[in-house]
Structure 1
Amino acid sequence: MVNINALGIIFPNTYDELVPQLVKHRTMASVPFGGRYRMIDFTLSGMVNAGIENVTVIAKKNYHSLMDHLGSGREWDLVRKRGGLNIVPPYAQSQSKVYHGRVEALYSIVNFLAEQKEKYVVISDCNVASDLNFAHLIDAHVKSGANVTMVYERAEIAKPITTDNYTFTMDDAGRVTEIRWNDYRMGVQNLSMGVIVMDREELIAMVKDAAVQNRMYLERDILGPSLKILHVQGYEYSGYRARIYDIKSYFDENMRLLCPENVAQLFPTERPVYTKVRDEAPVRYAMDCQVHRCIVADGCIIEGEVENCVLFRGVKVSKGAKVKNCVLMQGTTVEPGVTLDYIVTDKNVTITADKHLRGNESFPVYVEKNTVV
């Protein structure tokens, strides 16, 4: 089904504070993932695969890398005369300020929303990579007759997000009866995935009313107190997902992609994940190199030993180097005699000859962008 009657709104900065190291020079949406992708690729591709042809990205800060990655939206077929990809930076209006919550962000584009023709709005964050079928989600929302549909997964609340999460309580029909903010309970909960579907005109009315009352957060300040008035429906996502909430989760979720079954679930052939195309040469493997159970992106040069690693574009592992259990981002250079174990390097890091860096499974060591060690 082609959902041309829905537009998408993506928030790239919502969970930046959870991974301050990774977002020092970028947004959560542009955090590299899986060898060649960015986190926003999964949300944006999901919307495009559902037939959503009008997508707005509301940026907050550090959005240069995001704009460089998205460009005109050509890779997602979003270069269009009407709709397409629209990136809204902060201070888009003379009276605007950097937003704190979704309501403030939406209020900054309320006039833009009023000019659109689509009936429904799909709102999403970018801290979760998944194969969410947005077409099924919108269909379920329409059939339920609900004012709002919120996507959740059945999962335990990880310790780092006990102060930054939403959970739901629902009745037997799936109607949300309570929204909890910063839930710290143990065990499996109905944990929000940050995706909401609702009527565009209803959203505009809610945002205008909330702005007058200085309410900033959509779930906490608007939907939560209005559950007896609004029909808020839950939509369970039970597929594969990668939720990023700290360096360890980032490392773990990349490592999980070394399992072919997980790759097949996150990247189904019927709903491809699109990303920016870079014309890199194929991987060059030297005669004496050793590579075992790795994801190696285009442009890499492998001369040493690599095991259980995710290597992004343009990584060089020199002869005599041993790299194990690592995530090395674009442009990382590992010189001869280096030993790395449980290391995450950001872009353009150089590990000079004969250095030995070691983390462990519970505490992978992060090396900042452009660092020479």
Structure 2
Amino acid sequence: MKNMMGLINLHESDELLREIASYRPLGAIPFAGRYRLIDFILSNLINSGITNVGILAAGNSRSLMDHIRSGKEWDLARKKDGLFILPSLQTGHVQGAFPNDLADFFNNLDYIKCSRQRYVLLAGSRMVCNINFESVLRFHTERKADITVLYKEYDGSDTSRLKNATLVETDSDGRVIDMEICPVNARSNKLSMEMYLIDRQLLVDLIDASMSRGGTNVARDCFIKNLASLRMYGYLFSGYLACINSVQSYFEHSRELLNPEVWQELFFANGSIHTKVKDEAPAKYQQDAIVQYSLVANGSVIAGKVENSILFRGVKVHKGARIVNSIIMQKGEIGPGAVLENVICDKDVKITAGKKLKGELNHPVVIGKGTVV
């Protein structure tokens, strides 16, 4: 895959993820005990043989930069090609269905122009999956497409997975005839994975033309407005996909990872998922610990009861505490006798002795970073 480069666009709306994205970009949100959302697209790119990767930063990216560092964990610390952080002129959160990302693409156009690969794989970070892009490139060249967009097809009755997302509609030949960004009523059951394969020079031309006509959003102004003149095809992805676009979807997809089949596919189907290495001791289970159907990361110390939950690195669960259907992020501490059910605790949260917190499966309680309850 020496003929393809990757471009990760972190201008993703986080309006419905504010509780866990208030001080970090969406790509830096912790997921699955040890990972961040951006780990999945980075790993997919490198597992596909793509070694030139640019990350279009957005908002407060300090936590993201701390996580990625030189890109060594993804084999992107290279003398030739490698990892490139493309700065943004914008600050704050990315709001609305149409983020103003076109200006940042235009300001970093030299990076795209100077790259030696013919094709660009443009993607975000909120679509969590395990995919090899070699088959996508074959599909793209066989159909002589201008743009190939990846999509996941759902049962028509499963409308919950189609909310707050981009939908595509294809004809019998697989050509994309319509695209909608966050429609109120879903008119298609094909969820765009917001991953686009496009000729590098065509992308440069579309960005330049759209910018000169007052455009602000790449998906809308470069792709959707040119559907009639471009040969855009849809590539059906049949594997597991988690679209993280709200607190509810984050909670739901996190709980799906407790299914061994889902875990196996997501982390090993087309290569391993890599993340930042931390040298910590294995999780320690004390004499009174009871852990059932849960993911527990290294560095944790468990003395209470944990059921159907995900515990990140360095979590402490004291004796008598009970955690059910919950997510406890890094260095959380659950005091003696505390009870948590359907709760998401961000990093460094401390729940003191005897406290009881209960949410609902469709509306979990979210405790912000560093909070003491």
1:243-262 alignment runs, 5 A limit: 243-262=243-262
**For residue 235 of structure 1, what is the aligned residue in structure 2?**
235
SS at structure 2 position matched to 1:22: helix
Residue 188 of structure 1, CA deviation: 5.7
**For residue 86 of structure 1, what is the aligned residue in structure 2?**
84
Maintained 8 Å contact 2:106/2:207: yes
1:146-157 alignment runs, 5 A limit: 146-155=145-154
The answer as to 2:295 corresponding to 1:295 is: yes
Maintained 8 Å contact 1:75/1:276: yes
Q: 1:76 aligns with which of 70, 74, 77?
A: 74
SS at structure 2 position matched to 1:20: helix
**For residue 95 of structure 1, what is the aligned residue in structure 2?**
none
**For residue 174 of structure 1, what is the aligned residue in structure 2?**
174
Q: Number of paired residues?
A: 364
Tell which deviates more after alignment, 134-143 or 336-345. Answer: 134-143
Residue 105 of structure 1, CA deviation: 2.4
The answer as to 2:44 corresponding to 1:20 is: no
1:260-299 alignment runs, 5 A limit: 260-268=260-268, 270-299=270-299
Residue 219 of structure 1, CA deviation: 2.6
| Cα distance in 2, alignment partners of residues 304 and 81 from structure 1 | 49
The answer as to 2:56 corresponding to 1:58 is: yes
Q: 1:39 aligns with which of 37, 40, 44?
A: 37
**For residue 224 of structure 1, what is the aligned residue in structure 2?**
224
Residue 207 of structure 1, CA deviation: 0.6
**For residue 361 of structure 1, what is the aligned residue in structure 2?**
361
Residue 38 of structure 1, CA deviation: 0.6
Using a 3 Å threshold, how does the CA distance of structure 1 residues 130 and 160 change in structure 2: closer, same or farther?
closer
Task: Give the letter aligned to residue 18 of structure 2.
Answer: P
SS at structure 2 position matched to 1:233: strand
| Cα distance in 2, alignment partners of residues 138 and 101 from structure 1 | 28
* Identity of matched residues, %: 35
**For residue 93 of structure 2, what is the aligned residue in structure 1?**
none
Q: What are the superposed Cα offsets for residues 11-34 of structure 1, whole Å, 9 maximum, x if unpaired?
A: 124132231111111111011111
Structure 1's unaligned 5+ residue stretches are 93-98
Tell which deviates more after alignment, 182-191 or 324-333. Answer: 182-191
Residue 144 of structure 1, CA deviation: 1.5
Residue 137 of structure 1, CA deviation: 1.3
Q: What are the superposed Cα offsets for residues 71-105 of structure 1, whole Å, 9 maximum, x if unpaired?
A: 0000000011121011122239xxxxxx9434222
Residue 8 of structure 1, CA deviation: 0.6
Task: Give the letter aligned to residue 363 of structure 2.
Answer: F
| Cα distance in 1, alignment partners of residues 128 and 189 from structure 2 | 19
**For residue 201 of structure 2, what is the aligned residue in structure 1?**
201
| Cα distance in 1, alignment partners of residues 300 and 137 from structure 2 | 40
Using a 3 Å threshold, how does the CA distance of structure 1 residues 233 and 102 change in structure 2: closer, same or farther?
farther
The answer as to 2:115 corresponding to 1:116 is: yes
SS at structure 1 position matched to 2:210: helix
The answer as to 2:340 corresponding to 1:340 is: yes
| Cα distance in 2, alignment partners of residues 335 and 79 from structure 1 | 41
| Cα distance in 1, alignment partners of residues 239 and 331 from structure 2 | 32
Maintained 8 Å contact 1:15/1:127: no
Using a 3 Å threshold, how does the CA distance of structure 1 residues 356 and 249 change in structure 2: closer, same or farther?
same
| Cα distance in 2, alignment partners of residues 352 and 306 from structure 1 | 17
TM-score for both structures, normalised by structure 1:
0.93
Task: Give the letter aligned to residue 79 of structure 1.
Answer: A
Q: What are the superposed Cα offsets for residues 321-348 of structure 1, whole Å, 9 maximum, x if unpaired?
A: 1111110000000011111111100000
Residue 185 of structure 1, CA deviation: 3.1
Using a 3 Å threshold, how does the CA distance of structure 1 residues 127 and 118 change in structure 2: closer, same or farther?
same
TM-score for both structures, normalised by structure 2:
0.93
| Cα distance in 1, alignment partners of residues 31 and 5 from structure 2 | 25
SS at structure 1 position matched to 2:19: coil
Using a 3 Å threshold, how does the CA distance of structure 1 residues 158 and 351 change in structure 2: closer, same or farther?
farther
Maintained 8 Å contact 1:151/1:195: yes
Task: Give the letter aligned to residue 55 of structure 1.
Answer: V
Residue 186 of structure 1, CA deviation: 4.7
| Cα distance in 1, alignment partners of residues 334 and 87 from structure 2 | 36
Using a 3 Å threshold, how does the CA distance of structure 1 residues 288 and 366 change in structure 2: closer, same or farther?
same
Maintained 8 Å contact 2:131/2:270: no
Using a 3 Å threshold, how does the CA distance of structure 1 residues 42 and 343 change in structure 2: closer, same or farther?
same
Using a 3 Å threshold, how does the CA distance of structure 1 residues 141 and 32 change in structure 2: closer, same or farther?
same
| Cα distance in 2, alignment partners of residues 29 and 196 from structure 1 | 18
| Cα distance in 2, alignment partners of residues 278 and 263 from structure 1 | 21
SS at structure 2 position matched to 1:19: helix
Maintained 8 Å contact 2:288/2:304: yes
**For residue 183 of structure 1, what is the aligned residue in structure 2?**
183
Q: What are the superposed Cα offsets for residues 204-257 of structure 1, whole Å, 9 maximum, x if unpaired?
A: 111111111111222322322322221001111111011112112111111111
Task: Give the letter aligned to residue 191 of structure 2.
Answer: L
**For residue 128 of structure 2, what is the aligned residue in structure 1?**
129
Residue 268 of structure 1, CA deviation: 1.6
| Cα distance in 2, alignment partners of residues 80 and 33 from structure 1 | 27
Maintained 8 Å contact 2:6/2:52: yes
**For residue 96 of structure 1, what is the aligned residue in structure 2?**
none
| Cα distance in 2, alignment partners of residues 160 and 15 from structure 1 | 16
Residue 55 of structure 1, CA deviation: 0.4
Residue 158 of structure 1, CA deviation: 5.1
Structure 2's unaligned 5+ residue stretches are 91-97
SS at structure 2 position matched to 1:192: strand
